[in-house]
Structure formats: C-alpha cells, structure tokens
C-alpha cells in the first residue's frame, strides 16, 4: 500500500473496510490505515469499555462509538436490501439496545485446577473467557456468574458445562447441562443453590433432557400483559426494549387488520400484542412453545388461535393466506423461502416481516417485490449490542 486509506464502513463480520475494499480487523469507520498497516484511531474509535473485549467472543464492536455502531446496523440492513435491488420507501431510525439489557444468554463453564472458568467462549475457539464483568447482560443474570463459578468448581466433573440463563417473571430461569447430581446430598446442594439465589427455576440436563428440580411457582414470561408459561429453551426476543420496538412497528402497521396470521409465532410475542379485537392465528413448529401460547390464550379468552405446524415443510398455502387481512412473519435465521412463495401467490396485500438475518430477509424481500409488493418501511434493529448480529422490521404492501 502506498498511501494511507480511510475506513469507510464496518463489514458484516466486524472488520473495517476501505474504499479499495481492503478489510482490517479492529478498525472502525473513520480510522486511517497507515502504509505500514497500523491503525490510526479516528473520531469514532473508542476504548472498549469491557476488560474482556478482544478475547471474549460475545462482543465484536466495542471499539466503535455509538454513531459508528448505529451506522453499522443501519448499513447492514440497507445494503442487504440494495444487494437484492429492493428499494425501501422509508428507512426508519435504527434502534440500538443499551448496555445491560440482554435477558437471555448461554454461558459455558469448566472445572479447572484452580476452581472453574465461566463465561462466553473466545471468538473462533472453544476456550472459555472467565467472565469478571459483562456489559451486555441484564444485572440479575450477571449476578449469578460468581455463584455459578463456585458451584461448578465444587460440583462439576471434568467435562464441559453449559448454562442457559433467562430472565423470567419470577426471576432467573437457569438450565444446566453437564453437572451430575447423583444421590441425595448432591441434589440438596442444587436445591440450596436455587433457594439461596432465588431462582425462578433450576433445571438439570444429565443426558436425558432438561429436568426441573426447583420451580416454586410456574415460571412465566409476560407478553403484552399476558403471563405465558415459559418452556425450557423457548425463544424470547433478547431485550425488552428491542421487543417493544418490534411490537410498536407491528401494531402500527397492522392496526387496521381484523384477522392476521403470526407465522413462526414462538410463545406469541406478536400474537398477544396484536390480538383483540383482531383475531390472530399463531403458527409455530416447536411443540412446547405452541402449547404455552395455546394455554395462555385459552386461559384468558384471548382471540389467539394457536396452530402447531412446520412452516418449512408445510407452509400455509396461498388459499389459506388469502383469508387474512395481513400476515406477520418472524422466521429463524434461514428465512422463510417456502412460506414467502405462498404469500407471494396469495391475495394478501399487507405483510410485516421481522427478521434476525438481513441476508435471508433480503432474498425473501426480493420474492415479495417480484410478486408486486413494495417495501414501505424498513427499520434496522440492533438488540445484540456490540455484536455483528442485526435484526430488522419491515412492511410490504401491494
């Protein structure tokens, strides 16, 4: 390289990119790459606030300031649309979740010669970063890290331990895989741990699936004012503030609809927010999530009809889709190619598409545009702050 080059944007995997298309790890928008390859920090380059940044795989972008982070999330979504030649009539302000709001996380732990290590893994490695601080976790989740370290040090075998933490209505729902509790004394230890730390639920998976050992009252998650039973491992939007933004968009965009289908509905995050007086069909393939949604809707007499169906193998057909005033879909990272083909072939004219993967969304968006839809609104959302995971909401009409 002969002349210094300025970083113009952050690429999908978190590297800084120059005008000539060169990628530099650790560089952010506005940094200058000197001829010897060193990074001269620009106005958007900040000192990473967490001591683990650089080794911990949980965050990739703590060296970017708020403006550069926002630009990254926005461009990921807008560029994905443009890459498929899908033009948005309006790009709404990007939402970024603040620090200390992540309400679910899976940590890894291992007993060591000195005690135990617990935390996220290093990037591209199985090594565990022993977490002394975490700026993304909701404080009740982080508060359990030190006690869990002690528990693993005293009671785990030599194998890996996985710990899923979710903030439920009653406190933290904790599911541990890899600690064996044979005998009464070992079980007592786990019960004491749950009681001492006021867990909402403690489940242990000893190779035969999650088994609840402590749950003083049924664990629930309140969605739009409805307390829904919380099954093990069920999907939840990662932050409350992010969920509120997704719901506000969906409610505004689908306000006029009398009947809706919420596809890939999970526990009913969108269905419960959109129902009444509107009627909502909530379709979901995970049986536990489907049953939780159904139970909550029936118990409260809410006009949500829960349907158990695999929408990859058996998407709602065009004739079924045409019965609804509008469709909301929020598929997993793979997107919803088969389902979108049926939506495209139907008579429905209003579709809200929420996505956690701009690439698969853009592919599906193109199929909708080819079927006569227009992308009216597009909002980039960054619930996984400081990471390269990006989400979005979008409204299509025809």
Provide the binding-site residues for ligand SAM, judged by CB under 6 A: 235-237, 264-267, 269-270, 284-286, 289, 310-312, 330-332, 356
Q: What is the DSSP letter of 122?
A: B
Report CA torsion sign: 45, 48, 53, 58. negative
CB 281 within 8 A of CB 297: no
Nearer CB in complex with ligand SAM: 290/377:
290
Residue nearest to ligand SAM (CB): 266
- Name the minimum Å distance from CB 291 to ligand SAM: 12
Contacts with 36 (C-beta within 8 Å, 6 or more apart), sequence order: none
* Residue pointed to by tokens 């650790």: 26
Question: Is 196 labelled as part of a ligand binding site?
Answer: no
Among 178, 109, 103, 176, which residue's Cα sits nearest to residue 146? 109
Query: H or E element: which one contains 117?
Result: strand 116-119
- Name the minimum Å distance from CB 251 to ligand SAM: 13
Query: H or E element: which one contains 394?
Result: strand 391-397
Nearer CB in complex with ligand SAM: 178/380:
380
56 as an active site residue: the answer is no
Nearer CB in complex with ligand SAM: 40/338:
338
- Name the minimum Å distance from CB 199 to ligand SAM: 23
Among 323, 320, 298, which residue's Cα sits nearest to residue 309? 320
| Alpha carbon distances (Å) from 166 to 140, 206, 230 | 10, 20, 10
Nearer CB in complex with ligand SAM: 286/378:
286
Distance of CA 315 to the CA centre of its chain: 23
CB 299 within 8 A of CB 275: no
Nearer CB in complex with ligand SAM: 234/344:
234
Catalytic residue among 56, 134, 293, 356: 356
- Name the minimum Å distance from CB 338 to ligand SAM: 9
- Name the minimum Å distance from CB 269 to ligand SAM: 3
CA-to-CA distance for 329 and 69, rounded, in angstroms?
27
Adjacent-strand bridge partners of 90: 377
Question: Is 264 labelled as part of a ligand binding site?
Answer: yes
Nearer CB in complex with ligand SAM: 30/266:
266
Question: Is 330 labelled as part of a ligand binding site?
Answer: yes
Question: Is 132 labelled as part of a ligand binding site?
Answer: no
Burial 362-383 (b: 16+ CB within 10 A, else e): bbbbbbbbeeebebbbbbbbbb
What are φ and ψ of residue 161, in 5° steps? Answer: -120, 135
- Name the minimum Å distance from CB 105 to ligand SAM: 16
What are φ and ψ of residue 149, in 5° steps? Answer: -60, -45
User: What residue numbers does the annotated binding site cover?
Assistant: 237, 264, 284, 330
Residues recognised as catalytic? 356
Binding site for S-adenosyl-L-methionine: residue ranges? Answer: 237, 264, 284, 330
């Amino acid at each position: 390289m002969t002349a210094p080059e300025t970083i113009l944007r952050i690429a999908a995997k978190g590297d800084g990119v120059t005008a000539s298309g060169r990628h530099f790890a650790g560089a952010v928008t506005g940094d200058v790459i000197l001829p010897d390859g060193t990074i001269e920090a620009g106005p958007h380059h900040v000192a990473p606030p967490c001591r683990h940044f650089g080794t911990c795989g949980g965050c990739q972008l703590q060296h970017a300031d708020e403006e550069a982070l926002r630009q990254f999330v926005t461009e990921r979504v807008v560029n994905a649309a443009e890459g498929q030649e899908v033009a948005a009539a309006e790009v709404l302000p990007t939402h970024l979740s603040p620090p200390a709001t992540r309400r679910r996380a899976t940590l890894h732990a291992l007993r060591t010669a000195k005690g135990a290590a617990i935390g996220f893994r290093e990037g591209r490695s199985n090594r565990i970063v022993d977490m002394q601080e975490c700026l993304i976790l909701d404080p009740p989740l982080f508060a359990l890290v030190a006690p869990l370290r002690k528990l693993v040090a005293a009671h785990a075998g030599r194998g890996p331990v996985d710990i899923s933490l979710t903030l439920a209505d009653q406190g933290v729902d904790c599911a541990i895989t890899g600690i064996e509790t044979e005998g009464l004394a070992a079980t007592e230890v786990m019960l004491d741990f749950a009681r001492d730390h006021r867990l909402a639920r403690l489940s242990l998976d000893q190779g035969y699936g999650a088994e609840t050992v402590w749950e003083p009252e049924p664990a629930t998650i309140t969605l739009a004012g409805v307390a829904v039973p919380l099954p093990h491992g069920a999907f939840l939007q990662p932050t409350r503030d992010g969920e509120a933004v997704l719901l506000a968009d969906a409610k505004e965009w689908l306000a006029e609809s009398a009947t809706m289908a919420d596809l890939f509905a999970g526990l009913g995050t969108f269905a419960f927010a959109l129902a009444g007086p509107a009627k909502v069909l909530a379709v979901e393939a995970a049986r536990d999530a489907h049953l939780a949604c159904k139970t909550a809707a029936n118990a409260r007499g809410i006009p949500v009809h829960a349907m158990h169906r695999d929408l990859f193998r058996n998407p709602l057909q065009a004739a079924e889709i045409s019965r609804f005033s509008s469709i909301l879909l929020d598929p997993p990272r793979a997107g919803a190619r088969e389902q979108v083909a049926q939506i495209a072939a139907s008579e429905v004219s209003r579709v809200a598409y929420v996505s956690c993967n701009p690439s698969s969304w853009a592919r599906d968006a193109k199929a909708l545009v080819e079927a006569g839809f227009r992308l009216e609104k597009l909002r980039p959302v960054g619930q996984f702050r400081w990471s390269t995971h990006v989400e979005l909401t979008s409204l299509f009409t025809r």
